[in-house]
């Protein structure tokens, strides 16, 4: 009894600190709206097979499941994922923000099927998709990802472990203190909060590395789970390491962060390319009109979700071009983008990660023309 009391107190303390550190994420990520957005799509089950609050799992096709996060209820998963179940084997998608999140999805998988999992695929290396991967390592499940993911995790997250938190955040704190107006200060504050959250998540986690690297030059990869054909493909745009899973027979696509639904796209990555990403979305638009997309963040969507995101990229592009033409320096332009009414309800994870990243990359692309 003593042990139970102690461990539940510890669990409480660790949850409490996790929640206070992550408070800023709650309002900054899109909430799921399954019932509203896809009530007329018969492929999406209205009743989840598992619901942990912070994420729920629903059937979205024959042997296809989507794990959709609700960050207003906790941060074990943060991103969306899912799994595919054939007659012989299953494939899991995403390592999520914590091992607990990956464990929740594994429990749901075991509820749905008795076939073994051949692997868990990371859609890309970012923290909210990869920090829970040690769960798979500990359970003998092969971790699949783009062949650059290990290197990117080393450069970005191993480098963040064991270093002084205050030193990492100091330049961001300086930006808050020296902000020349309220808007700039708010943007700097959202970047400071987000970076602090990432730092804390990374330092609470034992990092795991993919043991089945997928060389993009050898993709697409056809995977046979003993039922329907599955294809893993690489597209440019969000992180330079982005993979998607396509199930052509059922017109279902798991996109990772190449699609943000009802949210501003995160454009901070060194290898994020605006023109590349816009081309990728153009390709997604060319697929069947009944295609169902499981985005990296936000509710499951159809082609309307892709169109919304393309419109958003167009708006970012137009505003960047206008400011560039007017001679606004990039250092000011990143704060001067105005969110149009049409996108006011869209979530912004952090100004710098999303909007400033997009504007500075658009400026670089205009300058390179």
State the residues that interact with Zn ion by CB under 5 A: 126, 257
Q: Which has the closest alpha carbon to 102: 66, 144, 143, 132?
A: 132
Nearer to Zn ion, 126 or 187 (CB): 126
CB of 124 to Zn ion, least distance (A): 6
| Sheet (strand 117-121) strand order | 50-51, 55-61, 64-69, 81-85, 90-93, 117-121, 143-146, 212-214
CB of 266 to Zn ion, least distance (A): 5
Question: How would you class 8 by CB atoms within 10 Å of its CB: exposed for 0-12, middle for 13-18, buried for 19 or more?
Answer: exposed
CB of 318 to Zn ion, least distance (A): 24
Nearer to Zn ion, 78 or 118 (CB): 78
For residues 85 and 105, the answer to whether their CB atoms sit within 8 Å is no
Nearer to Zn ion, 70 or 257 (CB): 257
User: Phi and psi (nearest 5°) for 118?
Assistant: -75, -20
- Pairwise CA distance, residues 88 & 112, whole Å: 14
CB of 238 to Zn ion, least distance (A): 6
Length of the chain: 369
Nearer to Zn ion, 100 or 126 (CB): 126
CB of 129 to Zn ion, least distance (A): 6
- Pairwise CA distance, residues 81 & 65, whole Å: 9
Nearer to Zn ion, 189 or 239 (CB): 239
Nearer to Zn ion, 191 or 257 (CB): 257
Contacts of 10 (CB under 8 A, 6+ apart): none
Contacts of 75 (CB under 8 A, 6+ apart): 18, 19, 22, 25, 54, 97, 98
CB of 105 to Zn ion, least distance (A): 18
- Pairwise CA distance, residues 73 & 101, whole Å: 13
Three-state DSSP at 206 gives coil
- Pairwise CA distance, residues 37 & 66, whole Å: 15
Nearer to Zn ion, 184 or 202 (CB): 202
Nearer to Zn ion, 246 or 297 (CB): 297
- Pairwise CA distance, residues 163 & 177, whole Å: 23
- Pairwise CA distance, residues 125 & 146, whole Å: 8
Element counts in the chain: helices (H) and strands (E): 14, 13
CB of 270 to Zn ion, least distance (A): 13
Classify each residue of 311-345 as buried b or exposed e, where b means 16 or more C-beta atoms within 10 Å of its C-beta: ebbebbbebbeebbeeebebeebbbebeeeeebee
Nearer to Zn ion, 57 or 78 (CB): 78
């Amino acid at each position: 009894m003593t042990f139970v009391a102690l461990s539940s107190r510890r669990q409480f303390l660790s949850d409490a600190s996790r929640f206070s550190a992550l408070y800023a994420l709650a309002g900054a990520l899109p909430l799921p709206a399954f019932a509203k957005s896809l009530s007329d799509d018969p492929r999406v089950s209205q009743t989840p097979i598992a619901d942990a609050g912070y994420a729920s799992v629903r059937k979205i096709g024959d042997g296809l499941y989507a794990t959709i996060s609700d960050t207003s209820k906790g941060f074990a998963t943060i991103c969306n994922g899912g799994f595919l179940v054939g007659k012989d084997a299953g494939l899991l998608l995403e390592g999520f923000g914590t091992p607990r999140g990956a464990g929740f999805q594994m429990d749901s998988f075991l509820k749905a099927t008795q076939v073994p999992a051949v692997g868990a695929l990371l859609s890309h290396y970012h923290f909210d998709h990869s920090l829970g991967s040690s769960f798979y390592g500990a359970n003998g499940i092969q971790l699949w990802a783009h062949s650059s993911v290990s290197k990117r995790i080393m450069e970005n997250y191993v480098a963040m472990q064991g270093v002084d938190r205050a030193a990492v955040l100091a330049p961001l704190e300086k930006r808050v203190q020296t902000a020349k107006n309220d808007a700039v200060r708010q943007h700097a504050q959202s970047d400071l909060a987000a970076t602090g959250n990432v730092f804390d998540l990374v330092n609470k986690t034992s990092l795991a590395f993919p043991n089945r690297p997928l060389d993009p030059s050898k993709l697409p990869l056809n995977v046979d789970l003993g039922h329907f054909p599955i294809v893993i493909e690489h597209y440019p745009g969000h992180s330079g390491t982005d993979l998607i899973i396509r199930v052509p027979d059922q017109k279902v696509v798991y996109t990772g962060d190449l699609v943000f639904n009802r949210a501003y796209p995160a454009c901070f990555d060194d290898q994020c390319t605006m023109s590349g990403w816009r081309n990728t979305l153009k390709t997604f638009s060319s697929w069947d009109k009944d295609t169902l997309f499981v985005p990296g963040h936000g509710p499951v969507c159809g082609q309307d979700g892709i169109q919304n995101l393309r419109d958003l990229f167009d708006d970012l592009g137009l505003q960047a071009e206008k400011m560039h033409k007017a001679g606004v320096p990039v250092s000011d332009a990143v704060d001067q983008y105005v969110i149009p009414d049409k996108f006011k309800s869209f979530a912004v994870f952090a100004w710098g990660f999303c909007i400033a990243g997009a504007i500075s990359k658009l400026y670089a692309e205009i300058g390179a023309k």
